[in-house]
Amino acid sequence: MRAFHSALPGYAPTPLTELPPLAAELAVGRVLVKDESSRLGLPAFKALGAFWAVHRVLAERERDREPGSVTLVTASDGNHGRAVARAARLAGQGAHVFVPRGVSAPAVAAIAAEGARVTEVTGPYDEAVRLAAEAADGPGSILVQDTAWPGYEEIPGWIVEGYATLCAEIDEQLAGTAGPDLVCVPVGVGSLAQAVVTHYRSRSAGRAPALLSVEPETAACVAASLAAGTPVSVTTGETVMAGLNCGTPSSLAWPYLYGGLDAAVAVPDAASVRAAADLADLGVSSGPCGAASLAGLRAVLTGAGAEERRAALGLDAASVVVLLSTEGAPAR
């Protein structure tokens, strides 16, 4: 995976930035932010998965590789759709992206600017996924979705594979240290968290960090599923964390999330907005989904019951926390 990404034009590891004021605020040893505000020319981590999956899809469809012979279809609340559209354009193929309600006009425009056809759906993300799957059910169209369901798991699996590069970079950036004690992951359908669980739970050497998922209060399908012990869908509302506004965990991710996450937290919009502003003050560009990691960490480490939660996660004043900031601040 690393070799594939490294060979792409514009590839560079994204920064892992240490922010001592946050460590002081939260009484831990170190807080480091994996800053995905500029990844392969796009302002979110999503290109890691989309580029690899599109590469695999087109390699499998060798005979269809005439320019313009394939339309890559997906549903997205912004970042994934833009990344699929970019990958399609670079491969000389078409893209059709279904966006749910609540996606900002600039995010829609950014997808269209990649040359993709955009269909705006009046319903939530889960409905956009359904419509994209229907639209892709014909010759010449291929669904490249970053969530899985029974019977549709191969391509989402490739997307998760692509995300592995992010974790591999963190390993390199923390080489020579004992590694993180806690990793905080923003979660929509849980595909990124699946990659994080896969990475940190399969390492033969080194200690395994605690893993915390962070969702919007209005779309906490993974927290609800963990509580129920089985995947459940929730009715989503409105949130500034558009990329996390998903009502159903990925079927592929679920067993990993259930077996591998240590804790799940849901945060309100105001906490994420504040976290984004604080990160900006510290020089890190972070959008509402990216900053959710910091909002979640704060929710866990402060307030009533914080000492119990800290102990349950095995954290102390020397602990090293990695926050995944999965997108940059929106352009103004």
Ligand X SMILES: Cc1ncc(COP(=O)(O)O)c(C=O)c1O
Positions marked active-site: 46, 77
Q: 10 by DSSP, 3-state: which?
A: coil
The verdict on 243 binding ligand X (CB under 6 A) reads: yes
How much of the chain is helix, strand and coil, in % rounded to 5?
Answer: 45, 15, 40
Residue numbers 111-130 binding ligand X by CB under 6 A: none
Among 70, 170, 189, 329, binds ligand X (CB under 6 A): 189
Among positions 80, 86, 199, 309, the unique one binding ligand X when judged by CB under 6 A: 80
Residue 40 is a binding residue for ligand X (CB under 6 A): no
- What is the longest distance spanned by two Cα atoms in the chain? 60
Helix, coil or strand: residue 124: coil
User: Rounded to whole angstroms, how far apart are CA atoms 162 and 166?
Assistant: 8
Structural contact between residues 130 and 105, judged by C-beta atoms closer than 8 angstroms: no
Selected binder of ligand X within 156, 188, 231, 260 (CB under 6 A): 188
Give 37 or 93: the residue with its C-beta nearer to ligand X: 37
Angle between helix 154-173 and 191-202 (nearest 10): 50
- The single residue among 71, 79, 236, 272 that binds ligand X, judged by CB under 6 A, is 79
Closest CB 317 distance from ligand X, rounded Å: 29
Query: According to the binding rule CB under 6 A, does residue 39 interact with ligand X?
Result: no
Judged by CB under 6 A, does residue 289 bind ligand X?
yes
The single residue listed with the structure tokens 């290109």 is: 47
Select 23 or 114, whichever has its Cβ closest to ligand X.
114
- Number of CB atoms found within 10 A of residue 101's CB: 16
Phi, psi of 149 (to 5 degrees): -145, 165
Question: Under rule CB under 6 A, which residues in 244-263 are in contact with ligand X?
Answer: 244, 246
Interface pick for ligand X out of 191, 198, 218, 236 (rule CB under 6 A): 191
Shortest Cβ 29–ligand X spacing (Å): 26
Residues in Cβ contact with 254 at an 8 Å cutoff, skipping those fewer than 6 apart: 190, 225, 231
For the purposes of burial, counting CB atoms within 10 Å of the CB of 116, is it exposed (0-12), middle (13-18) or buried (19 or more)?
buried
Nearer to ligand X, 88 or 291 (CB): 291
The Cα–Cα gap between 120 and 124 comes to: 10
Residue 95 engages ligand X in binding (rule: CB under 6 A): no
Cβ-based nearer residue to ligand X, 75 or 300: 75
Tell me whether residue 93 or residue 250 sits nearer to ligand X (CB atom).
Answer: 250
Q: Least CB distance from residue 215 to ligand X, whole Å?
A: 9
DSSP class of residue 314 equals: T
Return the residues of window 192-211 that contact ligand X according to CB under 6 A.
192-193
**Residue found under tokens 């459940």:** 232
Smaller CB separation from ligand X, 5 or 80: 80
Query: Contact, 126 vs 248, CB < 8 A?
Result: yes
Whole-number Å distance between alpha carbons of 31 and 212 = 14
As beta bridge partners, residue 72 has 95, 142
Number of residues that bind ligand X (CB under 6 A): 21
Q: Among residue numbers 138 through 177, which ones bind ligand X (CB under 6 A)? A: 146
Of 94, 124, 156, 186, the one binding ligand X (CB under 6 A) is 186
Piece of the chain touching ligand X by CB under 6 A; list 27-35, 88-96, 187-195, 198-206: 187-195
One of 144, 148, 166, 187 touching ligand X (CB under 6 A): 187
Between 74 and 319, name the residue whose CB sits nearer to ligand X.
74
Spatial CB neighbours of 182, under 8 Å, sequence gap ≥ 6? 209, 210, 211, 212, 297, 313, 315, 319, 320, 321, 322
**Residues engaged in binding ligand X (CB under 6 A):** 44, 46, 77, 79-80, 146, 186-193, 243-244, 246, 289-290, 326-327
